[in-house]
Amino acid sequence: MSKYVFVTGGVTSSLGKGIIAASLAKLLQARGFKVTIQKFDPYINVDPGTLNPYEHGECFVTEDGAETDLDLGHYERFLNIFTSQANNVTTGKIYQTVINKEREGAYLGKTVQVIPHITDEIKRRMLILGQKNEFDIIITEIGGTVGDIESLPYIEAIRQLQWEMPDEDLLVVHLTLIPYLKAAKELKTKPTQHSVKMLSESGVMPDVLVCRTEEPIGNEIKKKIAQFCNVQQEAVIEAVDAATIYEVPLIMMKERLDTIVLKKLNITNYPEPELTKWKEFLDKLKYPKAKVTIGLIGKYVELQDAYKSILESFVHAGAINECKVQVVDIHSEFITRENVAEKLGSLDGLLVAPGFGHRGIDGKISAVKYAREKGLPFFGICLGMQMAVIEFARNVIGIENAHSTEMDSDTTNAVINMMEEQKKITKMGGTMRLGTYPCQIKIGSLAHTIYGKNQISERHRHRYEFNNEYEEQFERNGMIASGVNLETKLVEIMEIPSHPFFIGVQYHPELKSTVENPHPLFVHFIGAAKKFNEHRMASKSATLQSEVI
């Protein structure tokens, strides 16, 4: 029998429920429990695949091809496990199921209502992962903030489950904020009290309160919160701001979040947590021996969450290289042929990000050209690889109007073309080439050195592909397809063997990088950037010396 932990949030959004849920899961996993996390999002989109990254940050893709909330990325990075379609549910999905059933006549003429039909469907989905007998504990994060109209059916579903299940099988962790008022020099508990009150008005009493705070809250305040919110004092957990999200599990362990949760779930026999690898990673992260500067070129760079998995992959790869990775966000729209050298001159590596549509692509192409010509380590992901292909076609092969049909549907030299299977699709959402596909790597290529094997599988999210009609021309001119899907012949990896490090991939390696398994492409990219940096620094000091002489 699985046990269930629900994580709700109060006072404000962006408190980091995903990180707290992932940290708790990590600690329980480290104590030997089989844990998974799922996220319930109260918006009406069926999935976040159709959401603009400005609205909701990156869209995370699972092995089985679900377009999901970026918190699933945190879960995978922390736990080193795969999540799936079942781990992310939205109000849209719930309603879609209920409405489809209604159309099929499944409700036998009854009036279909939020309670019980929507709440029943929510409860069914909340319990699905538990029926597999695979997990000891299932953590469910409820998106949004308590008090939002759209969260109500979810809170009601938890209330019903609390009533239906034995006490020791379900608990609720509520995450709140204790703001510090500078003028009064005081931490304020009132917003937390109100938020707990609102939750209890809906019939749900939290068992544990995790209090986000900039300043340590101390025992007096903990006691006050406990008293006014009806929880035990030991169950008031201080979550003080951390330097990195990867420190949060250790902070939560110090606060005994995991043991308090286990006690309430009436689980008594468990070992000390095994966190050796995690702590080694943190040590390397905190005390780097070198530093590289990587340019991240994209059109959503002003929004941190838009490239979440890429940024986290850099953290993992940096730690294993014992190297601080400073990421400089460069908006592709502001790069021109004239200013590219100035903008990229102090970089040790260039990553051109995934993306959609026309905006900013000229800047991306200029940046790729600069990296190719200067021997600057280059890593292109999805659209980034496609840009590298277009740049190479135009500037090396000499096909001046080479383009992608995504940006120019009339181009006569479509080196990037829409995939055949995509041409018939008119609906949006879940219709791209999504999820994991195998790829065969050419022996002796850079990709082969990086992966150390010739069979890989990676996750995808795209509509366009490299046009194989041009492959021979590319090879002749020095850019090779070093990874291909054998079944469909889709090109997965392009590289320039004569360049120190130039690789573009059609898939998204950033989705598979975890703390315990940093992605080899990122690891080697940072390694190449380190080498580039050493040369850059050496030639800089040589120039300085000759100027002095």
- Residues classed as catalytic: 382, 508, 510
Closest CB to ligand GLN among residues 316, 462: 462
Asked if 522 contacts 510 with a C-beta cutoff of 8 angstroms, the reply is yes
Q: Which residue in the set 165, 202, 356, 440 belongs to the binding site for ligand GLN (CB under 6 A)?
A: 356
Whether the Cβ atoms of residue 58 and residue 48 lie closer than 8 Å to each other: no
Q: Is 65 in the site for ligand GLN (CB under 6 A)?
A: no
Question: For the chain, what's the residue count?
Answer: 549
* Packed helices 257-264 and 17-30: angle between N→C axes, nearest 10 degrees: 80
Residue 280 CB, nearest approach to ligand GLN (Å): 33
Q: Which is nearer to ligand GLN, 10 or 354 (CB)?
A: 354
Q: Does 431 bind ligand GLN (CB under 6 A)?
A: no
Site string for ligand GLN, 166-195 (x = CB under 6 A): ------------------------------
Across 340-431, where does the E strand assignment appear? 349-352, 378-381, 403-404, 414-418
Q: How many other β-carbons are positioned within 10 Å of the β-carbon of residue 115?
A: 12
Using the contact rule CB under 6 A, the part of the chain among 135-143, 302-310, 326-334, 352-360 near ligand GLN is 352-360
Pick out residues in 301-340 that bind ligand GLN (CB under 6 A): none
Q: Which is nearer to ligand GLN, 207 or 406 (CB)?
A: 406
Angle of helix 91-103 versus helix 119-128 axis, rounded to 10: 110
* Residue among 194 and 463 whose Cβ is closer to ligand GLN: 463
Candidate ranges 30-38, 45-53, 195-203, 353-361; the one touching ligand GLN (CB under 6 A): 353-361
Q: Rounded to whole angstroms, how far apart are CA atoms 240 and 257? A: 13
φ/ψ of 144, rounded to 5, equals: 80, -175
CB 28 within 8 A of CB 272: no
In whole angstroms, give the CA distance from residue 381 to residue 494: 11
Specify the DSSP class assigned to residue 167: G
Binding to ligand GLN, residues 365-424 (CB under 6 A): 382-383, 406
330: β partners: 297
Nearest distance from residue 29's CB to ligand GLN, in Å?
A: 30
Which residues between 440 and 499 bind ligand GLN (CB under 6 A)? 461-464
Task: Select from 355, 435, 483, 509 the one that contacts ligand GLN (CB under 6 A).
Answer: 355
Please report how close the Cβ of residue 336 comes to ligand GLN at its closest, in angstroms. Answer: 22
437 vs 464 by CB, closer to ligand GLN: 464
- Identify the residue whose tokens are 């990254």: 53
x-marked contacts with ligand GLN along 5-44 as a string, rule CB under 6 A: ----------------------------------------
**Shorter beta-carbon distance to ligand GLN: residue 180 or 356:** 356
Q: Which backbone phi and psi does 195 adopt, to 5 degrees?
A: -70, -40
What is the distance between the alpha carbons of residues 154 and 52, in angstroms, rounded to a whole number?
Answer: 25
Q: Which of residues 93-132 bind ligand GLN (CB under 6 A)?
A: none
Distance between CA 66 and CA 87 in Å, rounded?
9
Q: Smallest distance from the beta carbon of 74 to ligand GLN, in angstroms? A: 20
Whose Cβ is closer to ligand GLN: residue 123's or residue 519's?
519
Q: Does 48 bind ligand GLN (CB under 6 A)?
A: no
Cβ of residue 367: shortest distance to ligand GLN, in angstroms?
Answer: 15
**How many residues at the interface with ligand GLN, by CB under 6 A?**
10
Angstrom distances, CA of residue 150 to CA of 5, 194, 203, 205:
21, 18, 16, 19
- Which span sits near ligand GLN by CB under 6 A: 92-100, 297-305, 315-323, 354-362? 354-362
The distance in angstroms from the start CA to the end CA of the chain is 77
Report CA torsion sign: 257, 263, 265, 269.
positive
H/E element, 361: helix 361-374
Angle of helix 520-548 relative to helix 308-320, nearest 10 degrees?
70
Q: How far is the CB of 500 from ligand GLN (least distance, A)?
A: 24
The 3-state secondary structure of 278-289, one letter per residue: HHHHHHHHHCCC
Q: Which is nearer to ligand GLN, 281 or 300 (CB)?
A: 300
Residue selected from 10, 143, 153, 354 as contacting ligand GLN according to rule CB under 6 A: 354
Interacting residues with ligand GLN (CB under 6 A) = 354-356, 382-383, 406, 461-464
